[in-house]
Amino acid sequence: MVTGLTWATYVNELALLAVVDPADTNFVANLPYTIDYAELRIYQDLQLLSTVTPLTGLSLAVNSPTLTIPIGTFITLQDVNVITPVGTSDPAVGTLNPCLPVTKEYLQYEWPSVVGAGVPNKFAMLSQNVLRFGPWADQPYALYLVGTVRPASLSASNTSTFISTYLPSLFLMASMIFISGYQRNFSRQSDDPQMAVSYEQQYKALLNSANTEEQQKKFQAGGWSSMAPAGVATPTRG
C-alpha cells in the first residue's frame, strides 16, 4: 500500500506500473511531461486547500479604480480585503475591510468617476490579473489578498510535494494515464478484456474519495461539517 511518495519512490513505482526500466532514456525524458500532466489534472479536479495562500505588499493607487497584480500571482482569487487605517500594511494590527465581488458593469454604473472616492468595498475581475474597485480609493490603502497558487512540481531537486505525500495513489494513476498515451495504449482494457486495471477509471474512483476528504477540510461536507457523509445516520438529530 502506497503511503507517500518521494521523487525516488515515485520514479520506481511508475516504472513498475509502466513495465519499463526506470533508467530508460525515453522514460526519463518523458517524466517532466508526465508530472506536469498529472499534477495539473489533480489541481484542476480538486480545489486543494493546500494551494490557498495569502498575499500582502500591494497597495491601491489614489483616485484610480484599478489594480494590476503580477501575472501568475494567483490561479484563482478568493478574497480581497482593504486594510485600514491608511499606512497600515500588516493585517494583524489593522482592520480588514472585505470587498464583495460584483460585475464590472455594476462598478462602472455606480462609480464611473472619482466622485465619491473612499474605502473600496466592491471589486470585479477585469482580466486574470487586473481588478477594478468601487468606490475609487481616496488613499493608498494596503491590500490583503487570498488566492490559489500552483506549487512547485515534484522533481529531483524538489523531492516531495503535497500531492506526492498525501495523494500518492491518485498521482500515480494520473501519471499512468499520460504514460499509457506515450506507450500508445490508451485503450488497454478494451483492447485486452482480461486487463484488470483501467487507469482512467481508477483515477476517477480515487478522485471521488479525495474530493470528499477535501470538502471535509473546508467544512463543506454534509451539513457544512467536517464529517464524511454518513451511510446510515441520514435523519437529522432532534
- What are 128-157's pLDDT values in tens digits? 999 999 999 999 999 999 999 999 999 999
Residue 191 domain-assigned (yes or no): no
Please compute the mean of the pLDDT values over residues 186-211 and round it to a whole number: 66
Task: Give the residue numbers spanning the domain of 86.
Answer: 60-140
Asked if residue 11 is part of any domain, the answer here is: yes
Closest CA to 229 of 215, 238, 237: 215
Number of domains in the chain: 2
Give the pLDDT confidence score for residue 209 in this predicted structure.
77
Whether a cis peptide bond, with omega within 30° of 0, leads into 85 is yes
What residues contact 9, with CB distance under 8 A and at least 6 apart? none
What is the mean pLDDT of the segment spanning 77-85?
A: 96
Question: Is residue 190 situated within a structural domain?
Answer: no
- Cα–Cα separations (whole angstroms), residue 180 to 14, 172, 183: 11, 12, 5
Cis status of the peptide bond prior to 135, with omega within 30 of 0:
yes
* Of the candidate ranges 9-13, 114-118, 162-166, 231-235, the one whose mean pLDDT is the lowest: 231-235
pLDDT for position 145: 97
How crowded is residue 138: how many other Cβ atoms within 10 Å of its Cβ? 16
Q: Is the domain of 85 the same as that of 157?
A: no
As a whole number, mean pLDDT of residues 202-221 equals 77
125 and 89 in a common domain: yes
pLDDT score, position 41: 94
Same domain, 74 and 108: yes
Instruction: Specify whether 24 is located in the same domain as 136.
Output: no
Residue 62 scores a pLDDT above 90: yes
- Is residue 234 in a domain? no
Distance from C-alpha of 164 to C-alpha of 70, rounded to nearest angstrom: 28
Indicate if 154 and 92 belong to the same structural domain.
no
For the record, the C-alpha cell of 213 comes out as 476528504
| Claim to verify: residue 213 and residue 163 sit in the same structural domain | yes
